[in-house]
Amino acid sequence: MECAISSGLYRSSPSLPLSFSTSISSTTATPSHLPKPFFKSRSFLCFPLVSRQNHPIRCQTSSRTPDDDGFVLEDVPHLTNFLPDLPSYPNPLQNSQAYAIVKETFVSPEFVVAEQNVVRKDSPRGVHFRRAGPRQKVYFKSDEVRACIVTCGGLCPGINTVIREVVCGLNYMYGVDDILGIEGGYRGFYSRNTLRLTPKVVNDIHKRGGTILRTSRGGHDTHKIVDNIQDRGINQVYIIGGDGTQKGAALIYKEVEKRGLQVAVAGIPKTIDNDIAVIDRSFGFDTAVEEAQRAINAAHVEVESVENGVGIVKLMGRYSGFIAMFATLASRDVDCCLIPESPFYLEGQGGLFEFIEQRLKENGHVVIVVAEGAGQDYIAKDMQATGEKDASGNRLLLDIGPWLSQKIKDHFTKVHKMAINMKYIDPTYMIRAIPSNASDNIYCTLLAQSAVHGAMAGYSGFTVGPVNSRHAYIPISRVTETQNTVKLTDRMWARLLASTNQPSFLGCNEASQKKVDGETIDDVINNTSIASS
C-alpha cells in the first residue's frame, strides 16, 4: 500500500504485539513535536514529511523495501503515544552556558540518520532512524525525575563510564538529582536495595573495570520489575546490556505502556562480542581488541623463541568473531584466525594441520587466534556436548582452546613424530575486565548523553547507538531481531584472509554446504562475490 505523496513513513517497531498497536489506534494522539498523522496501520504511522531537499517522498507501508525514492523512518515510541495529555516543558539546556554557542542546540525532529550510507546513485532513500540529541521540549520536570540505572549480562570495558555519564548527564544538563543504582542486574529490582548515585559517587568509576552496580544473568521477571518501578516512583529507566538485556528492556517497556505509566525506558547496548545489529560497533570493543594484542604478542614472543612453537590465543566471541578478526588484523603476528562464522577442518588437504606444518617449515613457529565459538559443531562430533545453558538461556560452549591444543600436539607427535612447543593463552576474562580506553570513554559518554536526551524528550522503548557514525534512536526490536556477525562475503574477512594467507577452508564439505548470507560457500566462490563493505 502506498501513502500519499509528500509524506514520510514512520514505522513503529515491527515486532510490537497487537496490544501495543491496539492501544496506539485507540489512544494515540499526535505528539506535539510531530505533525498530525494521516495514516495509521498495525506497524506504521505515516506523518506528513517533506524531504530535506524539499521534494515529495513516496513511501510504502507493507514492505521494508521502499520503492522509487521511498523514505522509511523506523521510529521509536514516544510517551505521548499512550499519554496524549502529557505536558511538555522548555528544555533546560536552552539556558546552558555550555550549549549557548552551539549553532543548533536542539535536534530538529526532521533530522534522521540513514541506515545505509553507501547506496547506488538511483537507489531509494531507504530506512532511517531518528537522530539522537537534545530536543527543544522535554516531558519531565527536572525535580520530578527519579531515574534508575541497571547493568545486566557479561562485563565489558566502559560500563562504569556509561553509568558515570548517565548520572552526570542527568545532573549537569537537566538538574536531576534523584538517581538510583539497581544492584546485580534485573533481579536487583525486586531482590536488593538501591544505591543512591550522585556525580560525586560516580566521579572516579570510569577508571575501573567491571560495573559498580554489579551484574547478573537470568532473573528477568517483567511483572516484578515493573511493580518495583511503580512502587519506587521511578520514571526513567536506563538499561545497560546486550541482546538478552535489550529483549528484557522491550518487555519492560511493553508492560509500562500497558499500565499507562509515564516511564521512559532507554536501552544502552553493551556487548564485548560486537554482536548487536544496526549499530556501528559496541562500546568496549576497541579496548578489548587493544588488550587482545598483549596476549597475541605474548604468544608470538614465546613461540618465536623456541623450536616448533605453536601459540594459541583464545578470545571471546560466542557467535560473532569480531574480536578475533580485528585483533588478528591489528596484530600482523597471527598466522591463522578461526571464527564461529567460518567452519574449519583439521585433517587433509587445505586443512589446519597442513597449514601449521607448512608455517613451521617456513618460520619455525605459528600463532593461531581462535574465537571461543569457532568450530562448535566440529568439536561436538568429537566431544560429548552437554547442551548446558547459562542462567539467561545462552548455550554453554565446548572449550575449543584446550581441545585444539591437544589435537595439534597429538597430530604432530603421532603423524610427524615431531615434538610441538605448545603455548596456549586464554586471556578471555582479562580483556573484558579492564577499564575502557580513551576512544571508548568518549563513545560511552555520547551513548549515555544520547540516552538521557532521549528519555528527557519523552522517547521510550528505544536503544541508542551510532549508525554510520551518527547517534540515533533505534527501535529495540531492530537490535534484537538479528545478531551482528562477520560476513564472510564482506571485504573485511577477505582482508584478513589476504593478510594471514591462511586457508579459507572452502574445500570443507560441511563448510561448502553451510549457508553464508543465504548462499552456500560454493555459490560464493562460483559467483566470486567477495565484495561490499
Ligand X SMILES: Nc1ncnc2c1ncn2[C@@H]1O[C@H](COP(=O)(O)OP(=O)(O)O)[C@@H](O)[C@H]1O
Ligand Y SMILES: O=P(O)(O)OC[C@H]1O[C@](O)(COP(=O)(O)O)[C@@H](O)[C@@H]1O
Burial pattern 257-282, b for ≥16 Cβ within 10 A else e, equals: beeebbbbbbbbbbbbbbbbbbbebb
Find which of Mg ion, ligand X, ligand Y, none residue 247 binds, CB within 5 to 8 Å per kind: ligand X
70 is in an annotated binding site: no
Reading the block at residue 263, the C-alpha cell is 516511564
Q: Which residue among 110, 143, 390, 410 contacts ligand Y (CB under 6 A)? A: 390
Spatial CB neighbours of 479, under 8 Å, sequence gap ≥ 6: 243, 246, 267, 269, 276, 277, 278, 279, 463, 465
318 is in an annotated binding site: yes
Strand partners, 424: 312
Give, as ranges, the residues between 166 and 195 that touch ligand X (CB under 6 A). Answer: 185-186
- The answer to whether 269 contacts ligand X (rule: CB under 6 A) is no
- The answer to whether 240 contacts ligand Y (rule: CB under 6 A) is no
Rounded to an integer, what distance in angstroms lies between the CA atom of residue 519 and that of residue 522? 8
Grid cell 560525586 is found at 200
Applying CB under 6 A, which part among 188-196, 243-251, 374-382, 400-408 lies near ligand X? 243-251
Q: HSE of 64 in the Cβ direction (CA atoms, 13 Å)?
A: 8
Q: What is the total count of residues that contact ligand Y (CB under 6 A)?
A: 12
Q: Which residue among 37, 154, 157, 475 contacts ligand Y (CB under 6 A)? A: 154
Give, as ranges, the residues between 350 and 379 that touch ligand Y (CB under 6 A). Answer: 372
- The answer to whether 372 contacts Mg ion (rule: CB under 5 A) is no
Find which of Mg ion, ligand Y, ligand X, none residue 58 binds, CB within 5 to 8 Å per kind: none
Which residue's CB is nearer to ligand Y, number 113 or number 316? 316
Could you give the 3-state DSSP secondary structure of residue 398?
coil
Give, as ranges, the residues between 383 and 412 that touch ligand X (CB under 6 A). Answer: 392, 394
Rounded to an integer, what distance in angstroms lies between the CA atom of residue 174 and that of residue 78? 19
The one catalytic residue among 178, 273, 286, 333: 273
Spatial CB neighbours of 23, under 8 Å, sequence gap ≥ 6: 81, 82, 257, 258
- The answer to whether 109 contacts ligand X (rule: CB under 6 A) is no
Q: Which residue among 57, 179, 251, 346 contacts ligand X (CB under 6 A)? A: 251
- Reported in sequence order, the residue ranges of 35-131 that DSSP labels E, i.e. its strands, are 39-40, 44-48, 71-74, 89-90, 112-114, 126-131
Give the N- to C-terminal CA distance of the chain in Å, as an integer.
32
Q: Which residue among 66, 188, 210, 242 contacts Mg ion (CB under 5 A)? A: 242
Q: HSE of 129 in the Cβ direction (CA atoms, 13 Å)?
A: 31
Reading the block at residue 32, the C-alpha cell is 506535539
Q: Which of 336, 285, 312 is nearest to 399 (CA)?
A: 312
Rounded least distance, CB 372 to ligand Y, Å: 6
253 is in an annotated binding site: no
Q: Which of 178, 181, 245, 189 is nearest to 213 (CA)?
A: 181
Applying CB under 6 A, which part among 111-119, 151-159, 410-418, 516-524 lies near ligand X? 151-159
Q: Which of 268, 283, 196, 276 is nearest to 232 (CA)?
A: 196
- The answer to whether 243 contacts Mg ion (rule: CB under 5 A) is yes
Give, as ranges, the residues between 249 and 308 that touch ligand Y (CB under 6 A). Answer: 271-273
Q: Is 273 considered catalytic here?
A: yes
Catalytically active residues, by annotation:
273
* Residues binding ligand Y (CB under 6 A): 153-154, 242, 271-273, 316-318, 372, 390, 432
Sequence ranges of the binding site: 154, 217-218, 242-245, 271-273, 316-318, 372, 429-432
Where is the binding site for substrate, in residues? 271-273, 316-318, 372, 429-432
Binding site for ligand X (CB under 6 A): 152-154, 185-186, 217-220, 241-245, 247-248, 251, 271, 392, 394
